Chain A
Amino acid sequence: MCNANEDLDKICETLDKLTLDALYLMQEEIDLKLNIENAMSGGEAHLAKSRYILGLTNVSALQLPTENSPEFSAGLKVEVDEALLGRNVYNLREIKKTEDENVQEPLRWFGILVPQNLNFAQKMFRQALQWSVQAVNVQNQLRSVLQSISNLKEVKTKNASS
């Protein structure tokens, strides 16, 4: 009986710790999303300035490649930095033209001589991508903490009823 009580106490203690972890991770996730929002709105402001210089339709989805465009590879990809307890930790990786000749410079879709603002927009959106990859890592961590909490709750219910 004493042992069962000790087990229950340990489970409750672990649940407390995991709940605290989950709260910290939720806060971190929200902070990262706000960082993404800031970086994106900075990038969008620079896109708007580029539109003012180049013309409304010259910085739009019309310049993006379509299904009829020639095949090309992404210049930014994610790779698994390490796999912790079945959870992937991602890292953003730039693919150089020397590694893959199909990589294109996206700025060229908008012309040869593009305004400086388009370069700034590119930098801001790359920053947003960095935050996004970090947010995904936090989200995966939160998901695994929530899974542990759910498993422990089941064990606790079983222990309490026996």
Chain B
Amino acid sequence: MALHSAIKGKLISVIGDEDTCVGFLLGGVGEINKNRHPNFLVVDKNTAVSEIEDTFKRFLKRDDVDIILINQNIAEIIRHVIDSHNSPIPAVLEIPSKDHPYDASKDSILRRAKGMFNPDDL
């Protein structure tokens, strides 16, 4: 069974706005598993922050997910949850969206890296 799942690979989850989710699912990463749990969440202006947090935490717990793609503007909303995730698996990748271009100064891993380059520490 372990070998079987190793051959089949792991999932990429998506938390994003409508265009991001439609696009990446069109690319073929979407899945509905046998428990009827999707690996994506479409976030619009009516989506509650608690729902985004819960979905993100559920993706973190799933052992069939290796990468979570999340729009950077949505990541900003649940920054405290993202910053508390220190494990490399699943990897959380902040991606730009249509309305919010990529801003390296907000990226979780790059901020962590920048924090290490305090000249007094080196």
Contact = CB atoms under 8 A, between A and B. Distances in A.
A64 B30 contact: yes
Interface string B3-18: 0001111111000001
B115 to A, nearest CB: 9
A125 B23 contact: yes
B8 A68 contact: no
Contacts of B101: 37
Contacts of A136: 67, 91, 93
Q: Which of A15, A124, A125 has the most CB of B within 10 A?
A: A125
Contacts of B113: 22, 26, 142, 146
25 contacts: A22-B113, A33-B94, A40-B97, A44-B23, A47-B22, A59-B22, A60-B22, A61-B21, A69-B32, A70-B32, A71-B34, A72-B30, A72-B31, A74-B29, A75-B29, A76-B12, A77-B11, A79-B6, A88-B88, A93-B9, A106-B26, A124-B23, A133-B12, A142-B113, A146-B113
A100 B8 contact: yes
A49 interface: no
Interface in B29-65: 29-34, 36-40, 42, 44
Contacts of A149: 116
Contacts, number: 173
A65 B38 contact: yes
Contacts of A37: 95-96, 101-102
Interface of B: 6-12, 18-34, 36-40, 42, 44, 66-67, 69, 88-89, 91, 93-98, 101-102, 104, 107, 109-110, 112-113, 116-117, 121-122
A106 B36 CA distance: 18
A22 B69 CA distance: 22
Contacts of B31: 72-74
A146 B116 contact: yes
Nearest to A93: B9
A42 B63 CA distance: 32
Contacts of B33: 71
Given A128-B95, A135-B93, 5 more contacts: A19-B117, A33-B96, A43-B23, A60-B18, A149-B116
Contacts of B28: 74-76, 94, 106, 122, 126
B59 to A, nearest CB: 14
